């Protein structure tokens, strides 16, 4: 549980840091790569992805060890229904966060999400900002973002440096 919470906190930290890092690593606004000792730890453009089939705008995506840490994440804006059909599991913990898209009130959640968990496909309905903590090797999905009346943030965090979603070409 401690490892899972550490991963969640690390993922949320990176997501927050990267979401607000518009300029990226630059040297005094010149646009050149930061040559300082620790500038290499500030990531921006290398993790921007536009995934037009599913998400709105630009996502932050690190599924190929771009963060150089034992965590992968995806930060996506959702404005329309999405269905992830394939039931699957991972050899690592995963956290799926569904967060209201209003930056002044993340509890302002305008969506209905349904997720199935376990071999018996136990259904859970999410109608408020929530995180789903998925233990290693637990079957999960379909995941159905059924209804979106206001933008939401979908944050996925896996305690592994690389991640490939089943049936997906962009990860």
> Which CATH number do you get for residue 125?
2.60.120.10
Secondary structure letter of residue 46 according to DSSP: G
The 10 Å Cβ neighbour count of residue 77 is: 14
> Residue 18: helix, strand or coil by DSSP?
helix
Confidence of residue 170 (pLDDT cuts 50, 70, 90): very low
Cα–Cα distances in angstroms (integers) from residue 32 to residues 41, 65, 84, in the given order: 15, 23, 39
Low-confidence winner among 52-66, 72-86, 107-121 (lowest mean pLDDT): 52-66
Specify the higher pLDDT residue, 44 or 89: 89
Tell whether 164 is covered by a domain: no
Q: How far apart are CA 36 and CA 113, in angstroms?
A: 44
- 99 has a pLDDT exceeding 70: yes
- 5 has a pLDDT exceeding 50: no
Tell whether 62 is covered by a domain: yes
Tell whether 84 is covered by a domain: yes
Q: How far apart are CA 45 and CA 39, in angstroms?
A: 14
Q: How far apart are CA 59 and CA 138, in angstroms?
A: 26
Instruction: Average the pLDDT over 154-160 and give the result.
Output: 92
Instruction: Average the pLDDT over 138-163 and give the result.
Output: 93
In the numeric block, the tokens 């979401």 are attached to 19
Q: Give the dihedral sign, CA 132/155/66/103.
A: negative
Position 52 scores a pLDDT of: 79
Here the tokens at position 99 are 């967060």
Confidence of residue 14 (pLDDT cuts 50, 70, 90): very low
Domains identified in the chain, total number: 1
Q: Which structural domain range is residue 111 located in? A: 2-158
Tell whether 57 is covered by a domain: yes
Percent of the chain with pLDDT over 70: 75
Position 17 scores a pLDDT of: 38
Residue 156, strand partner residues: 74, 96
């Amino acid at each position: 549980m401690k490892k899972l919470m550490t991963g969640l906190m690390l993922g949320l930290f990176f997501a927050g840091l990267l979401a607000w890092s518009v300029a990226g690593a630059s040297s005094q606004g010149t646009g050149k790569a930061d040559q300082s000792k620790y500038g290499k730890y500030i990531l921006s453009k290398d993790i921007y992805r536009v995934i037009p089939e599913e998400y709105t705008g630009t996502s932050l995506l690190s599924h190929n060890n771009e963060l150089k840490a034992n965590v992968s994440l995806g930060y996506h804006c959702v404005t329309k229904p999405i269905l992830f059909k394939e039931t699957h599991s991972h050899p690592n913990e995963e956290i799926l966060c569904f967060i209201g898209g209003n930056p002044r009130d993340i509890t302002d959640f305008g969506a209905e999400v349904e997720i199935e968990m376990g071999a018996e496909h136990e259904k859970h309905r999410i109608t408020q900002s929530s995180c789903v903590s998925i233990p290693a090797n637990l079957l999960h999905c379909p995941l159905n973002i059924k209804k979106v009346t206001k933008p939401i943030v979908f944050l996925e965090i896996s305690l592994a440096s690389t991640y490939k979603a089943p049936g997906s070409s962009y990860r």
